[in-house]
Amino acid sequence: MLNQKLVDALNEQISFEIYSALIYKAMQAYFAAEDLPGMANWTNIQFQEEMAHAEKLFNFVCEAGGRAKMLALNEPRNEYESPLEVFEIILQHEQIVTGRFNTLMDLAQQEKNHAAQIFLQWFITEQVEEEASVGHIIAQLKRIKDDGRGLLMIDQELAKRVFTPIAAG
């Protein structure tokens, strides 16, 4: 059973995950307009992952006896200067997400809610992978600088990414 303090914090994270999805959808639109379909694909996969994260959180709140609620969202940024800027913003955003999950884990520990701690561990582990993946893309983009051929190679590589649904439980 979740206490109200933990339910409220999880509901905020559900909405933040949906907001994150909107950020990635806006980035997908930017990449599509820039004729970078691989990067558009990559951000679309991120959109799908964030929606799956929101659903996973939503289901946990409901299954653990809480009341999931949808909260208001802000409009995401829609304009960017370059692919490098987009991925640097992504890294900053994912670092914020990591901090939010760490704070949720701290709260679950304070509340001595072991089920929530076990549940949140998956997200914390996922964030390590998220930040590493984006960091790798940033390093590649910095390495190629203004080389259009290099940009196209990275774009082609990112086009190969596919969405893998999150396992239940």
Q: What is the pLDDT of residues 30-70, one digit of tens each?
A: 999 999 999 999 999 999 999 999 999 999 999 999 999 99
166 pLDDT more than 90:
no
Q: What is the CATH number of the domain that holds 115?
A: 1.20.1260.10
Mean pLDDT of 76-95: 98
Mean pLDDT of 75-79: 97
Give percent above pLDDT 90 in the chain: 96
Tally of domains in the chain: 1
Mean pLDDT of 158-162: 97
Mean pLDDT of 3-26: 98
165 occurs within a structural domain: no
- pLDDT given at position 127: 97
The pTM score is 0.95
166 occurs within a structural domain: no
169 pLDDT more than 60:
no
- pLDDT given at position 168: 61
Which of 146, 143, 13 lies closest to 71, judged by CA? Answer: 13
Structure tokens, 120 = 């949140």
In degrees rounded to 5, what are phi and psi of residue 154?
A: -65, -45
The C-alpha torsion from 20 through 26 and 31 to 35, rounded to 10°, is: 150
Compute the distance between CA of residue 4 and CA of residue 138 in angstroms, rounded to an integer.
Answer: 40
8 occurs within a structural domain: yes
Pairwise pLDDT comparison (146 vs 137), residue with the higher score: 137
Contact 159, 36 (CB under 8 A): no
Which of 56, 58, 22, 70 lies closest to 126, judged by CA? Answer: 56
Compute the distance between CA of residue 132 and CA of residue 150 in angstroms, rounded to an integer.
Answer: 20
- pLDDT given at position 167: 75
Domain span at residue 89 reads: 4-158
Structure tokens, 42 = 């990559």
CA distances from 91 to 43, 98, 122, 157 (A): 13, 10, 19, 19
14 occurs within a structural domain: yes
Contact 30, 64 (CB under 8 A): no
